[in-house]
A and B are shown apart, each in its own frame.
Chain A
Amino acid sequence: MGYLLRGLRRPNIICSFLFMLCLLLFCTNMAWAGEHTIASDPTGEHTFALDFRGVDMSESFGWVLLTGFTILFMQVGFIFLGGLLQAKNVLSYMTHCFLATTLGALIYFVAGFALMFGGFEFLGKHLGGGNAFIGWSGFLLLGDSYDVRTIMMFLFQAVIATFIGSIIAGAVAERMKLGAYVISFFFIYTIIYPLYGHWVWGEGWLWNLPFGSGVRDFAGSGVVHAIGGTLAFVGALFLGPRIGKFSKDGTPGFFPGHNVGYMVIGTVLLAFGWLGYDAGSTLAAGDLRASVVAANTFIAGAMGAVTVLYYSYLKTGAADIGEACNGFLAGLVAISAPCAYVAPWAAVTIGLLGAIVYMTNLWFVEEKLKVDDPLGAVSVHGANGLWGLLAIGIFADGSYGGVSGLITGNGGQLLSQFIACIVALAWAGGLGSLMFFILKNTIGIRVSERVESEGLDVNIHGSPCYRLQTGAEAPLGAEIEGAAEDTEGQKNTEILEAAFAKDAKREKIYSEKLGIWITAKPKETEK
């Protein structure tokens, strides 16, 4: 213990949070010890029986748990999308995704799940209290929710919840403070995501809208991607573009990715997990619609990829695989909500239109709104999430769950889905703006110009992602014990901060002589 504490720098926010979490867990465990009611079934003895129902139940357990594991694997895909960033910021983006996978799941465990699924019934187990607007049962999975069925639902939902953070990470990459990102989690995972999720998946007021069958969202186009994409947009808006992204007249520049191959790997890994995500959302092994769901998901994504690939080839003469990967993801996001309710031909159409929505939105966000979104998270997740919600209202053919859309001559469903879109935009946009506004004006959300120029990896995470490995390179020098006062180093850092802050004010100007955009000193030095 003494070894761990030796040389510890200022205890930061994460440490104090983890300490408080442990304390909370300990206290509540003490309070609840031995208080399971008869209705809860922590061992599964009552849920399982050696008869037909028992076998059916255990098949469902196998199905939902295994698909849950493939969903966790999607985070590998998200992490690999970091190939589209500059080499100096890769660890930073990966840390953001990693924190979403770990800290995000923990916060969801403490409060998110209870708010989202309180009052929900799953495989015959009714989870405590909840009304149309909020749930309040299942905090820390204690008491009545200490039950095999509830906890299976928790696992499936917790791995899905981790995506929100990863989606936001793509839009705020290369310039966000780690502390602000962590603090935003407490707000996102306890309020923004679970409450909207409760209204749709927790059978709240949106689920029960009187138009059509009420809002339907099979595997999260709205609950996960539209909410995550909207938050990503708000985050990127409040952060502002990376230094040098836009020239003076607003022409966007580009920071080429350091390894587009990673993006291809990540996309296929995401697609693999996505099939499990959508098919597993049947939440029962006995629901054989799962085959249609998986096939729809696959072909919609493939159609999105092929559309973008052909378009990029026709436009530029090069088959742009990086963009095609985003097209794949756009198709997958768009089909997430309607995958169970539509026929395969409709899935292909949704994937095609999803790719068009992606390309149009990318152009709109970058060229018109001047928002800098390094990985295209806003266009892939936000815009296509909303499109996926609407697609149910158009293409649902009434063969599953009684959901029928415009193609069967039924307009009510589209109205429900439209309301869900507006609510998602207003809810995530409004609360997200409030959250980022408060963070921006208190602790600040953006790293200094020096850190941005030198790269976030070295400055925030202490080590570059890719170290030059040449024979001439010496191993690391002596270990530094503790945090010795380094006044000279501090003075240097201050000088650097000032120098890079001045550099950030430089503008990209168009050089008539050279015919290219160049970074130049501000005007006054040219006089």
Chain B
Amino acid sequence: MKKIEAIIRPEKFDIIKDALTEKGYGGMSVTEIKGHGNQKGVSEVWRGKRYKVDLLPKIKVELAVADEVCDEVVQTIISEGQTGSIGDGKIFVSELSNVYRIRTAEQGDSAI
């Protein structure tokens, strides 16, 4: 099992969520986060002066998926979330040792 953490543009969230739901990966946790990667040159105006902004709003989507579908999910997120411009975000994939469903105490792939 794999854990996928995708950091994406907030404006792209609806599209990505719909695409994942359509493909059958509806379960996800979503957090609003702030951060920055290599993106620069973004500025905001406050009290009539223009300032650099260090941290930008992003959305983090977390999914747990079975090994064999991991690539499809990642490719879906990339194809829907890509604009080609700096600031599109990143996807982190890591290994999960186990998953439990609290309601039924199932574990493994069937608990996802």
For chain B, residues 19 to 45, give those with C-beta under 8 angstroms from any C-beta of chain A: 19, 21-22, 32, 34, 41-45
Given contacts A477-B53, A503-B15, contact A461 B21 (CB under 8 A): no
Q: Are the CB atoms of A476 and B41 closer together than 8 Å? A: no
- At the interface with chain B, which of A134-142, A293-301, A412-420, A478-486? A478-486
CB distance from B25 to the nearest CB of A (A): 12
Cβ contact of A476, chosen from B18, B19, B32, B51, cutoff 8 A: B51
Q: How far is the CB of B44 from chain A (nearest CB, A)?
A: 5
Shortest C-beta distance, B50 to chain A (Å), equals 5
Residues 36-89 (chain B) with a chain A CB within 8 angstroms:
41-46, 49-55, 57, 80, 82-87
Closest beta carbon of chain A to B66's beta carbon, Å = 20
Given contacts A472-B34, A477-B54, A492-B87, contact A463 B44 (CB under 8 A): yes
Q: Mark A451-473, 1 if CB is under 8 A from B, else 0.
A: 00110001001111000101011
Which of A468, A472, A478, A521 meets B57, CB within 8 Å? A468
Per the bound structure, the CA–CA distance linking A513 and B18 in Å amounts to 13
Any chain B CB within 8 A of the CB of A496? yes
Rounded to whole angstroms, the CA-CA distance of A511 and B22 in the bound complex is 8
Bound: A486/B50 CA distance, A? 14
In chain B, what residue has the closest Cβ to A481? B50
Instruction: Assess whether B95 is interfacial by the CB under 8 Å rule.
Output: no
Q: Are B85 and A499 in contact (CB under 8 A)?
A: yes
Is there an interface contact between A474 and B54, defined as CB atoms closer than 8 Å? yes
Contact A479 B83 (CB under 8 A): no
Q: Please tell me which one of the listed residues B18, B44, B54, B84 contacts residue A519 in the complex, with CB atoms under 8 A apart.
A: B18
Please indicate the chain A residues that have their CB under 8 angstroms from the CB of B43 in the complex: 480
Task: Write out, one digit per residue, whether chain A residues 428-462 have a CB within 8 A of any chain B CB (1) or not (0).
Answer: 00000000000000000000000001100010011
Q: Report chain A residues within 8 Å CB of B50.
A: 462, 479-480, 483
- Nearest CB of chain A from residue B81's CB, rounded to whole Å: 10
> Given A492-B87, A500-B11, A519-B15, A476 and B21 touching (CB < 8 A)?
no
Q: Which residues of B contact A520 (CB under 8 A)?
A: 18-19, 22
Residues of chain B lying within 8 A (CB to CB) of residue A519: 14-15, 18
Chain B residues whose C-beta falls within 8 Å of the C-beta of A461 in the assembled complex: 45
Q: How far is the CA of A343 from the CA of B49 in the complex (A)?
A: 56
In the complex, how many residues of chain A place their beta carbon closer than 8 angstroms to a beta carbon of chain B? 36
A451 to B48, CA, bound (A): 21
Contacts of B18 in A (CB 8 A): 518-520
> Which residues of chain A come closer than 8 Å to B55, judged between CB atoms?
472-474
- A119 vs B22: C-alpha distance when bound (angstroms): 67
B15 adjacent to A506 (CB under 8 Å): yes
With a cutoff of 8 Å between Cβ atoms, the chain A residues found around residue B49 in the complex are: 479
Considering only residues 484-526 of chain A, those with a C-beta below 8 Å from chain B are 486, 488-489, 492-493, 495-496, 499-500, 503, 506, 511, 513-514, 518-521
Does B85 contact A486, Cβ atoms closer than 8 Å?
no
Assess the B45–A499 pair: CB atoms within 8 A: no
Cα A462 to Cα B45 in complex, Å, equals 5
A518 contacts B22, CB within 8 Å? yes
Report the Cα distance A239→B73, complex, angstroms: 37
Query: What chain B residues lie within 8 Å of A462 (beta carbons)?
Result: 44-46, 50
Whether A480 pairs with B85 at a CB distance below 8 angstroms is no
Given the interface contacts A477-B53, A478-B51, A488-B41, does A496 sit within 8 Å of B14 by beta carbon? no
B54 touches A486 (CB 8 A): no
Chain A residues with CB under 8 A of B44: 458, 462-464, 476
State how many angstroms separate the Cβ of B84 from the closest Cβ of chain A.
Answer: 5
Cβ-defined partner of B52 (8 Å) among A458, A480, A495: A480
**Cα distance, A506 to B16, chains bound together (Å):** 13
Using known A-B contacts A480-B51, A518-B18, determine if residue A463 contacts B85 with beta carbons closer than 8 Å: no
CB-CB under 8 A for A479 and B22, given A468-B34, A472-B34, A503-B15? no
Q: Distance in Å from the Cβ of B30 to the closest Cβ of chain A? A: 15
| B32 lies within 8 A of A468 (CB) | yes
Q: How far is the CB of B78 from chain A (nearest CB, A)?
A: 13
Which of A463, A488, A518 lies in contact with B45, CB distance below 8 A? A463
When the two chains form their complex, are residues A500 and B83 in contact, meaning their CB atoms are under 8 A apart? Answer: yes
Chain B residues whose CB sits within 8 angstroms of the CB of A499 once the complex forms: 82-85
B73: min CB distance to chain A, Å = 16
Contacts A473-B55, A480-B50, A496-B83 supplied; 13 other A-B pairs, CB < 8 Å: A462-B50, A474-B55, A476-B52, A477-B51, A477-B54, A489-B41, A499-B82, A499-B84, A503-B15, A513-B22, A519-B14, A521-B19, A521-B80
Which 4 pairs of residues, A with B, have the shortest CB-CB distance? Answer: A462-B45, A499-B83, A477-B52, A489-B41
In the complex, 8 of the A-B residue pairs with CB atoms within 8 angstroms, ordered by the A residue number, are A454-B11, A463-B44, A480-B50, A495-B83, A514-B21, A518-B18, A519-B18, A520-B19
Residues of A at the B interface (CB closer than 8 Å) are 453-454, 458, 461-464, 468, 470, 472-474, 476-480, 483, 486, 488-489, 492-493, 495-496, 499-500, 503, 506, 511, 513-514, 518-521
